[in-house]
Amino acid sequence: MKIPTSMLKSGSYPLASLLFLVTASAAGGSDGASYQKEKGTTKTLTGGGAIVRIWEYNYIPEATQPCTHEESEWWKQTRNAGNGVFLAWKKGDQKLMAESKEKFLLLLNEGRRREYRVPVEDRPPQILFHAEPDYSYIAQKNKISGTVWVSVEVTADGGAGDVKLVEGLGWGLDQNAIRALRQCIFLPAVKDGTFVAERKKLGIFFCGQPSGCQR
């Protein structure tokens, strides 16, 4: 995939790194889902002018499985908060993002505590937020580009558990990618109406070439 040259500037200074989250199966984690999608979302981050691009975001779906009124209302609030995390990230609204993340995680905990049934079909975990990985000075100086692949245990409470390096780049980028992924917020995998832990292979692609990168 060639990154357009027009994306390689942030404001008036050149891009320090270009990175985006991808999955082993499909860019942006579409997982074959058929519900509403947000495509081509680009976000400029502070600290070096890095750009993160989520190629495709699947909005958390409405309830499709039988459930009680209480479960329906809980899921409605949970999906609104989860989608709110992404929308706040898209707008660059840090305060709203923090509030949405806190509300989302509290609602996940409430659902597990009350043993609510998750009223959607079985689905893999979904990334709602990830932090900006630092593009190390030595990697930037040497214009290192490539993907750091990791195996992440997405826990049933929406966090990143055990993270294992699958294929690294060195130059300090492996540690920085893992550190950022540990701050991810997920909608956990759903199995038989219950949130469950599941491993997911993820990659962070770093681009250090001012003329664009191929992947």
Mark 158-188 as b/e (b = at least 16 C-beta within 10 Å). bbbeebeeeebbebebbbbbbebbeebbbbb
What gap in Å lies between CA 202 and CA 23, rounded to an integer? Answer: 5
Give dist(CA 10, CA 14) in Å, integer. 6
Where are the domains positioned within the chain?
5-59+122-206
Q: Is 203 helix (H, G, I), strand (E, B) or coil?
A: strand
What is the rounded distance in angstroms from the CA atom of residue 37 to the CA atom of residue 56?
Answer: 7
* pLDDT the model gives residue 74: 97
Tokens of 179: 């550190």
| Whole-structure pTM value | 0.75
Rounded to whole angstroms, the Cα distance separating 60 from 213 reads 31
- Per-residue burial over 146-156, b = 16 or more CB atoms within 10 Å of its CB, e = otherwise: bbbbbebebbb
Q: What is the pLDDT of residue 67?
A: 95
CA distance 188 to 138: 35
Residue indicated by tokens 């942006």: 28
Q: DSSP characters for 149-169?
A: EEEEEE-TTSSEEEEEEEE--
Q: Which residues of the chain have pLDDT under 70?
A: 1-56, 209-215
CA dihedral for 36, 114, 81, 24, sign (positive or negative): negative
At residue 75, the pLDDT reads 97
The domain covering 5-59+122-206 belongs, at the CATH homologous superfamily level, to: TonB (3.30.2420.10)
DSSP code at position 143: T
Q: How far apart are CA 207 and CA 56, in angstroms?
A: 19
- How many Å apart are CA 215 and CA 207, to the nearest integer? 10
Task: Give residue 16's pLDDT.
Answer: 38
Angle between helices 69-91 and 94-113 (to 10 degrees): 160
